[in-house]
Structure 1
Amino acid sequence: MADMTQFLQEITKAIENSKNIPKDEVIFTYNGVLYPTAVCDMVTFKALETFETREDDVMLAAYPKCGSNWTTMLLHSIVHAVHNKHPSAIIPMIEFKSTDKFEKLKADSSPRVLATHFHYEDIPKSFFEKKVKILVMFRNPKDTAVSLFHFYNNNPILPTYNSFDTFFSDFMSGKVVWGSYFDHAVVWNKHLDTDTLLLMTFEDMKEDLEGAIKKISDFFSMPLTEEQVKGIADKGTFKSMKDNSKNTHGEMSSAIFRKGEVGDWKNYFSEAQSQEMDAEFEKTLAGTKLGDVLKYNIYCKW
């Protein structure tokens, strides 16, 4: 598809540009949060302040490595099934820079599939003013940490870590791209009763993909037939998307689609690290709506 070709060209361009960025400038800080220089810049962030949202935009918000690429592709499949609209050439992450990005977004037909890793408070206010429906994706924090560790080491646009121990320290202190997992979670938790938000988890999607697709399509008022749900689920398993990822995500495929498993953290966490994260969860999320949905005792205990 021509659109996918343009999408891959944008990814390839970002990787090529990253080779010219000095090592000490690969990451930059904005409002106290780290971002990768190869795909983000202040010009794009500034332009987002006046970005024109639409009430029928299909928006995904997810902390990195919580299933955002997987879910974005499912959203495109749902939109295609209902509106016969193919994915646009625009990389859906609103904070990613690309040539003539906002002109292309303005010209793109509705409904547009958009996504972000931004902290709640950094998402353009117009999304909330227009009451745009937002799918919020989370994953248990231990698997998220391991996945983000590998994302750093498999991703040419990010620095590498010699050990998980070093990375874990930065993850817990929020010194990773897009900031602290727990900061994201605590703020989203405050808004989960808003009827324009739907909370889903990576684990729920792994457990019952068809049920998740139906829930998501109903939330965005794009009901599917049972046959459509099954068709999207068959092509939309993590394994199917990983097997096809060279075609969809080019050089970034191995960084974006790794294992997609639940419980891989047990191969990396020490007992002390597990206890440290347990304590942070207890302090920030235990007993909250998001904390309950994450099923921490099921997915994050030995």
Structure 2
Amino acid sequence: MTMAVDFCDIEIPDYEGLYLPKIPTFLKDPGHILTSIRNLTLGPDAIILATYPRSGTHWMYEMTEMLLKGKAEYCRKSRETAYLEGLSDLDSMQFYNRIVSTHVPFQWLPRKHVDGCGKIILVIRNPKDTAVSLFKIFDSGGYIKNKSFQDFVHEDFLGPKAMHGGWFEYNKEFLKQAATRKNEMIVITFEKLKKDTKGELLRLAKFLGVKEDEQLIKDIVDKCSFNKLKDADKVVREDNLMAETMRELSLKENVVVYRKGEAGDWKNYFTVALNEEFDKAYTERMKEIDFYPEYE
């Protein structure tokens, strides 16, 4: 697929009032892929990893796979091989019985999995760090040009065309669902996972029904430290789907997936005025939800 126009000039794809990221599947036929995901029949032991983009998805995917395998071994296949909306054909995911990854809002999750009490992992990262991380990965890939961070926050994060309905609406709906699905959903925050990786992995193992194994948890914590996971991503993977997708969109192939993996980096980018504006937006948009992110 060769773009005839500059990528940044391409209209943002949307479906039923929901604005979506500019990935090949959504640019071609968003309704088809969203409906296919909703109608997907996963295996009885499948687990959905739901995250708003740049919330620690690759990190959690790798650790969950290690827990399920019972071995602290890196995945040879990238997380993109099980990224539902990134796949143009979901036949390979029919009755898939491992962890699948998605950024789509709750209403588009596979219905049979949701209605059948299938397990869902929700990872939430504080929105300020999420905004910084999104800006950086978009900038590194060539998604945006000549746009300041402040403009990005106003237009692409807080604005009406924020992807997947925006961080607030996306996580608000998942948190509402988690409140009534105690045995089916677990909510993990990026910040708590950074502070107490071992404790959160033990909690996740219990949720997944994985036998507690102190040595396994210790090994996973070590193998999934930021620098080791970043290095492994370069040498272990047997596929290169991220680069292939970027090539298809005529963008920079070496997009920065693993940047810093820190909590609190937002302080280096938010002005006092932008921070006050952002806090006001959080208060207004999340007023129905008793959830307060950690701002390091």
TM score, norm. by length of structure 2: 0.82
Structure 1 residue 174, shift from structure 2 partner: 4.3
Identity %: 26
Query: What secondary structure, in the 3-state scheme, does the structure 2 residue paired with 1:227 have?
Result: helix
User: Taking structure 1 as reference, are residues 277 and 102 closer, same or farther at Cα in structure 2, changes over 3 Å only?
Assistant: same
Residue of 13, 16, 23 corresponding to 1:31: 16
User: Taking structure 1 as reference, are residues 86 and 244 closer, same or farther at Cα in structure 2, changes over 3 Å only?
Assistant: closer
Match status 1:228 vs 2:229: no
Deviations 1:141-198 (A, max 9, x none): 1111100111111125x33452102101121114233331111122122122212110
Query: What secondary structure, in the 3-state scheme, does the structure 2 residue paired with 1:278 have?
Result: helix
User: Taking structure 1 as reference, are residues 273 and 86 closer, same or farther at Cα in structure 2, changes over 3 Å only?
Assistant: closer
Q: Distance in 2 between matches of 1:92 and 1:253?
A: 20
User: Taking structure 1 as reference, are residues 141 and 264 closer, same or farther at Cα in structure 2, changes over 3 Å only?
Assistant: same
Matches of residues 249-268 of structure 1 in structure 2 within 5 Å?
251=243, 254-268=255-269
Q: Is the 8 A contact 2:191 2:263 kept in 1?
A: yes
Query: What secondary structure, in the 3-state scheme, does the structure 1 residue paired with 2:270 have?
Result: coil
User: Taking structure 1 as reference, are residues 254 and 22 closer, same or farther at Cα in structure 2, changes over 3 Å only?
Assistant: closer
User: Taking structure 1 as reference, are residues 190 and 46 closer, same or farther at Cα in structure 2, changes over 3 Å only?
Assistant: closer
Amino acid at match of 1:159: I
Residue of 30, 35, 57 corresponding to 2:46: 57
Match status 1:91 vs 2:90: no
Q: Distance in 1 between matches of 2:257 and 2:25?
A: 15
User: Taking structure 1 as reference, are residues 256 and 132 closer, same or farther at Cα in structure 2, changes over 3 Å only?
Assistant: same
Residue of 205, 210, 213 corresponding to 1:217: 205
Amino acid at match of 1:47: S
User: Which shows bigger deviation, 62-71 or 187-196?
Assistant: 187-196
Query: What secondary structure, in the 3-state scheme, does the structure 2 residue paired with 1:36 have?
Result: coil
User: Taking structure 1 as reference, are residues 34 and 104 closer, same or farther at Cα in structure 2, changes over 3 Å only?
Assistant: closer
Match status 1:159 vs 2:147: no
Structure 1 residue 22, shift from structure 2 partner: 4.9
Deviations 1:93-149 (A, max 9, x none): 211124xx42222365x3x11111111222232221111110111011111110011
Q: Distance in 1 between matches of 2:85 and 2:62?
A: 18
Q: Distance in 2 between matches of 1:141 and 1:163?
A: 18
Matches of residues 60-209 of structure 1 in structure 2 within 5 Å?
60-81=49-70, 91-98=81-88, 101-106=89-94, 108=96, 110=97, 112-156=98-142, 158-170=143-155, 171-193=157-179, 194-195=181-182, 196-209=184-197
Deviations 1:38-94 (A, max 9, x none): 253433223223211233112111101111111111111112217x99666772221
User: Which shows bigger deviation, 198-207 or 161-170?
Assistant: 161-170
Q: Distance in 2 between matches of 1:153 and 1:123?
A: 29
Amino acid at match of 1:30: Y
Match status 1:280 vs 2:286: no
User: Taking structure 1 as reference, are residues 28 and 20 closer, same or farther at Cα in structure 2, changes over 3 Å only?
Assistant: same
Query: Is there any run of 5+ residues in structure 1 with no aligned partner, and where?
Result: 1-16
Structure 1 runs, 4 residues or longer, greater than 4 Å off? 17-22, 84-90, 249-254
Query: What secondary structure, in the 3-state scheme, does the structure 2 residue paired with 1:191 have?
Result: helix
Amino acid at match of 2:44: E
TM score, norm. by length of structure 1: 0.81
Amino acid at match of 2:15: Y
Q: Is the 8 A contact 1:93 1:115 kept in 2?
A: yes
Query: What secondary structure, in the 3-state scheme, does the structure 2 residue paired with 1:290 have?
Result: coil
Amino acid at match of 1:166: D
Q: Is the 8 A contact 1:153 1:161 kept in 2?
A: no
Q: Is the 8 A contact 1:53 1:130 kept in 2?
A: no
Query: Is there any run of 5+ residues in structure 2 with no aligned partner, and where?
Result: 244-252
Amino acid at match of 1:215: R
Number of residue pairs matched by the alignment: 274
